[in-house]
Chain A
Amino acid sequence: MNRDEDISGLQRVILNERSRLLRFLAARGLADEAEDALHDLWQRVAAAPSQPIADPLSYLFRAAENLVRDRRRSTVSRDRRHHDWHETSVPGEEQPTGERALIARERLREVQSTLAALGPRVELVFRKCRLDGLGQVAIARELGVSLSSVEKDLQKAYRALAQLRAKFDAE
């Protein structure tokens, strides 16, 4: 690849931990594209500034997880664009906009009351974590509880929301 002095510290970690990262990418569903994804990762970290990173390997795994999500999302939005085009070409099957907005509002209300029913702390933890983007360690410290209680609160919220979504899908 590059001459040795052109390789950043992170890239050196990629070379050393290549098999672990490839194994992760394959397990994460990129079995056929693992090499290609690793190359993407290589280029992403090439653009990174040389600031100290506490745990480079963990940083790389995180970057790999983001990369998998990015790839998946671009596949999904490509499919959705195709689907939208298909939908607009068959207008008869579409629900009227007003009715759709009504359903969306009703569902939002149900999501809100589902969260509220789990108790104020669970709701607060979920909102802080997923809507305000706060880290779980920071939330635990702020509320004066352990990290594992924060994880349990999130687990309750995720579980209830998944059940609600399944119910909506069945309607």
Chain B
Amino acid sequence: MAMSAQDLELREAARSWAIRVQETAFDDWDGFTSWLERDPSHLPAYEAALADEAWAVELLSSAPAVPAPEVQPRRRWWVAGSAAAAAAVAVIGGWAVLDRDAPAQQIATVPGEHRTIDLADGTRLALNGSTRVTIDPDTPRQVVLERGEARFEVRHDASDPFVVLSGGTRLVDAGTIFNVVQDGDTIEVGVAEGAVIYQPGTGEVRLAPGDTLRRSGKDAKPVLGRANPQTIGSWASGELQYDEPSLDEVARDLTRSLGRPVRTTRGAERISFTGTLMLRGTPEEVLARAEPLLGVKFTANGEGWTMSPAHGPPR
């Protein structure tokens, strides 16, 4: 069936609305309403544009990942890492917004990259570097944390609780801002606001603000701890807040945020530091600021740094 010029024009207009409406910043809703009302053929044309687009996206998502074509040189992540952390707070346009029509997708960050994702229900995820999550719009209140670290700011709905799956464990929110780290079979949960239920059912654990839970293996018993709620997930705002942390915690946080490995020799040792490390600037600048605050020394060791107590014996 040949298409008339008028028909083509209608399809073009419908696709243009579909594209514009999809953008988060779109605000011409009255214009869109008027266009839909102007002719009964407009709504089906708009629905057809959405359906065509959903069809292509579904087909493409079934493909094995192909590298995206390069248009500009890749950013250098160790520089961009800390800049991205600040940008995640400052730049609304930088947030990824997930459309509920899209098929399940995996979102991954490279070392040193921070990324914020807004889910359709208003829940916000901040991903730290080297992190991968799977989000399926068919189960909009569930996120799988495959690896890495994410901070969840959950839009609470008691009748439809938000669930995070991580390392074979279910975490159910009860009105919440919380942070989850998954590294191999180890998971760590910290609650900044509200409450989280670990493994609902018999033996469930309810975590309140400031509670932390660490489970070091699939069959290991969870170990509860306490932290200052303000420090939990603070990396997501471009800073690391500490309340007498262990060297291990600091090394892990810096590795994720700088995108290059920071190792430590005496990991379990605690540092008498309470305060904030800013992640602004190059890794060298971040570390130079951190040395006097933490009372440590960073020694370059090829790809990354070794952190040791400034007063301790050299390694």
Interfacial residues, chain A to chain B (CB-CB below 8 A) = 20, 23-24, 27-29, 47-49, 54-55, 57-58, 61-62, 65-66, 69-70, 72-73, 104, 107-108, 111-112, 116, 120-121, 123-124, 127-138, 141, 143-144, 151, 154-155, 158-159, 161-162, 164-165
A124 and B49 form a contact (CB under 8 A): no
A58 and B105 form a contact (CB under 8 A): no
A151 and B19 form a contact (CB under 8 A): yes
**Contact A61 to B93, CB < 8 A, known contacts A133-B107, A136-B23:** no
CA distance A23 to B31 in the complex (A): 12
**Nearest CB in chain B: distance from A104 CB, A:** 7
B36 and A28 form a contact (CB under 8 A): yes
**Contact A161 to B52, CB < 8 A, known contacts A133-B99, A133-B105:** yes
**Interface 9-residue window, one of B66-74, B213-221, B225-233, B280-288:** B66-74
Contact for B62 among A62, A65, A108, CB less than 8 A? A108
Contact for B96 among A73, A133, A154, CB less than 8 A? A133
CA distance A70 to B192 in the complex (A): 32
For this complex, 5 residue pairs linking A to B, each with C-beta atoms less than 8 Å apart, are: A29-B47, A134-B96, A159-B11, A161-B53, A165-B56
- 1/0 contact trace for B40-73 toward A, CB 8 Å? 0001000111101101110111110010111110
A135 and B25 form a contact (CB under 8 A): yes
A155 and B68 form a contact (CB under 8 A): no
For the residues of A in contact with B, the DSSP-based class is: helix
B100 and A70 form a contact (CB under 8 A): yes
A132 and B96 form a contact (CB under 8 A): yes
At the interface, yes or no: B20 with Cβ under 8 Å from chain A?
yes
B15 and A29 form a contact (CB under 8 A): no
Contact for B19 among A29, A124, A155, A162, CB less than 8 A? A155
Interface size, chain B (Cβ < 8 Å): 61
**Contact A162 to B49, CB < 8 A, known contacts A23-B33, A47-B157, A137-B25:** yes
B72 and A143 form a contact (CB under 8 A): yes
CB neighbours of A57 from chain B (8 A): 29
B154 to A, closest residue via Cβ: A49
A72 to B, closest residue via Cβ: B47
CB neighbours of A138 from chain B (8 A): 91, 93-96
At the interface, yes or no: B27 with Cβ under 8 Å from chain A?
yes
**Nearest CB in chain A: distance from B5 CB, A:** 15
At the interface, yes or no: B97 with Cβ under 8 Å from chain A?
yes
A49 and B155 form a contact (CB under 8 A): yes
CB neighbours of A161 from chain B (8 A): 52-53, 55-56
CA distance A61 to B147 in the complex (A): 35
CB neighbours of A55 from chain B (8 A): 27
CA distance A134 to B22 in the complex (A): 11
A24 and B23 form a contact (CB under 8 A): no
CB neighbours of A47 from chain B (8 A): 155-157
- 1/0 contact trace for B6-31 toward A, CB 8 Å? 00000110011011111111110110
A147 to B, closest residue via Cβ: B23
At the interface, yes or no: B101 with Cβ under 8 Å from chain A?
yes
A65 and B71 form a contact (CB under 8 A): no
At the interface, yes or no: B89 with Cβ under 8 Å from chain A?
no
CB neighbours of A134 from chain B (8 A): 96
CB neighbours of A123 from chain B (8 A): 68-69
A120 and B96 form a contact (CB under 8 A): no
B21 and A121 form a contact (CB under 8 A): no
B157 and A61 form a contact (CB under 8 A): no
CB neighbours of A116 from chain B (8 A): 69
CB neighbours of A27 from chain B (8 A): 33, 36-37, 43
Sample of 10 further A-B pairs with CB below 8 A, known A111-B59, A133-B98:
A47-B155, A58-B29, A73-B101, A112-B60, A130-B102, A138-B94, A141-B94, A143-B71, A158-B52, A159-B15
At the interface, yes or no: B310 with Cβ under 8 Å from chain A?
no
Chain A CB within 10 Å, residue with most, of B43, B50, B60: B60
